[in-house]
Structure 1
Amino acid sequence: MGEEPPSDLAAEGAAAPARPLAVVATAFEGISTMIDCDSDGRGDLSLAPFSNACSLVTVLFGCLGLAFKFAELEYSSKVNDLIEASKTYDTLSSILEHDVENDSVRKQGSHSRNLRRVRLGLDLVKALFEQYLSSSDCSLKEAASTAYGQVCAPFHAWTIRKAVGAGMYALPTKDQLLLRLNETDDSVKKEMERYIDASRPIIEYIDNLFLSRNISLDW
């Protein structure tokens, strides 16, 4: 481990990029530069490029196997809703404004609720990477369990938390994850740090969209 990663040789039309983590990091770096907020936290972020970038994260959940199948399925359905919504709404702010006007922000299936769930997915990946990088002795199971406990567990019923806990034993080893991501020890740290740095302002922006409209985040 430690050598340079193989070059991206993904063939045109392939199901997934050769280095999915690198692709995700690059996409979110691009999105983070698009955020434009005014002083009260309101602003615009184009929905189409945002939702398209978020769709790339689904591959990362797939690389984590059964333990994160719940996240992959829930997350992908919510992202697909936002992709469809981008045909009607230009920005994240506009879908929230529409749901505020119709008193449907927290309504099951609303675009705003789905945006909130996608935001949790992005934060889950960020927290997992932060835990992964926190110690060379930290196992993937430890990193994933801690990240899930911090980000998603507070919003999940006991039955889901129990199922996720059981699935943690099916997580790949670090070496298996590196193989699936087509990264090395050195390169995976670089790409994880890129995603962490790029996703942080995006997550904060989404939170501020809700908070600036006096909508709490405890749901």
Structure 2
Amino acid sequence: MADLENNEKPLRKIADAFKELEATVNSQTPGADLEVAPFSRACSLVSPLFGCLGIAFKFAELDYVAKVHDIAEASKSIGTLQIMLDRDIEENRVKKPGSHTRNLLRVKRGLEMVKVLFEQILAAEGNSLKDPASKAYAQVFAPHHGWAIRKAVAAGMYALPTWAQLLSKLNEDETSARIQMQSYITTSAPVILYVEKLYHSRELGIDW
């Protein structure tokens, strides 16, 4: 993926978008629900991160971008995430390939992967991203992937950018990047939990 335009600050955009989602989720309004449109917009801002990680996460980038696009399309006719899931349940297509409910679960995993990756990067020493990326992949994606994908990802880990190269791709200096990453970690956690609760409250589970 080509480097971003000089004035683009994807980490800042992501942090700001998830602050707004967190505010909605944490609002005291009874029955406050996340609207599909702002949720899909925030998720789409995360897409460039997968591209910046190179070949190891190409599968994640392609899959994530397609699923976010589907949810963005759904936002044109469906108001909230609750309604989106309930409609799939009514039409008995929750687990069918291409269903919004199935796609949302995959997007949730993408958000979680980035959260764990950021946590690992902030805790790590040195310039290599191999350890943080390997840990994030093992925790979030690996349990749902077959042997062939896991093997391809492991091979791709050797082509990850360094921390310095990632900062350059994201147009950030280290101090600013760490602040924005910590912001995403903090604000994405309740959003991810909110999505998980939607599945558990409907007895759908999240391990499929």
* TM-score of the two chains, using structure 2 as the length reference: 0.93
Pairwise CA distance, 1:17: 5.7
User: What does the per-residue CA deviation read over 1:132-153, in whole Å, with 9 as the maximum and x for residues that have no partner?
Assistant: 1112247301000000000011
Which residue of 1 is the match for residue 188 of structure 2? 199
Q: Report if the CA contact (8 A) 1:51-1:83 is conserved.
A: yes
**Higher alpha-carbon deviation: 201-210 or 178-187:** 178-187
Which residue of 2 is the match for residue 188 of structure 1? 177
User: What does the per-residue CA deviation read over 1:66-106, in whole Å, with 9 as the maximum and x for residues that have no partner?
Assistant: 11111110000000000000011000011100111122111
Secondary structure class of the residue paired with 2:24: coil
Which residues of 2 match residues 50-65 of structure 1 at below 5 A? Answer: 50-65=39-54
Q: Distance in 1 between matches of 2:172 and 2:125?
A: 16
Which residues of 2 match residues 26-45 of structure 1 at below 5 A? Answer: 26-35=16-25, 43-45=32-34
Consecutive unaligned residues of structure 2, counting only runs of 5 or more, are none
Pairwise CA distance, 1:16: 8.6
Alignment CA distance shift 1:106-1:36 (3 Å): farther
Q: Distance in 1 between matches of 2:156 and 2:6?
A: 24
Q: Distance in 2 between matches of 1:200 and 1:167?
A: 28
Secondary structure class of the residue paired with 1:35: helix
Q: Distance in 1 between matches of 2:85 and 2:27?
A: 15
2:107 to 108, 118, 121: 118
Q: Within the alignment, does 1:106 sit opposite 2:95 as a pair?
A: yes
Q: Within the alignment, does 1:134 sit opposite 2:123 as a pair?
A: yes
Which residue of 1 is the match for residue 14 of structure 2? 24
Q: Report if the CA contact (8 A) 1:106-1:112 is conserved.
A: yes
Which residue of 2 is the match for residue 177 of structure 1? 166
Instruction: Report the residue type matching 2:25 in the other structure.
Output: I
Which residue of 1 is the match for residue 156 of structure 2? 167
Which residue of 2 is the match for residue 7 of structure 1? none
Aligned pairs, number: 205
Pairwise CA distance, 1:123: 0.2
Consecutive unaligned residues of structure 1, counting only runs of 5 or more, are 1-13
Secondary structure class of the residue paired with 1:58: helix
1:78 to 67, 74, 77: 67
Comparing both structures, which one devotes a greater share of its residues to helix? 2
User: What does the per-residue CA deviation read over 1:21-52, in whole Å, with 9 as the maximum and x for residues that have no partner?
Assistant: 1111111111111226899x965100001001
Which residue of 2 is the match for residue 4 of structure 1? none
Q: Distance in 2 between matches of 1:117 and 1:199?
A: 15
Secondary structure class of the residue paired with 1:76: helix
Q: Distance in 2 between matches of 1:86 and 1:213?
A: 21
Which residue of 2 is the match for residue 210 of structure 1? 199
Q: Distance in 1 between matches of 2:65 and 2:98?
A: 13
Q: Distance in 2 between matches of 1:215 and 1:17?
A: 42
Secondary structure class of the residue paired with 1:44: coil
Alignment CA distance shift 1:16-1:52 (3 Å): farther
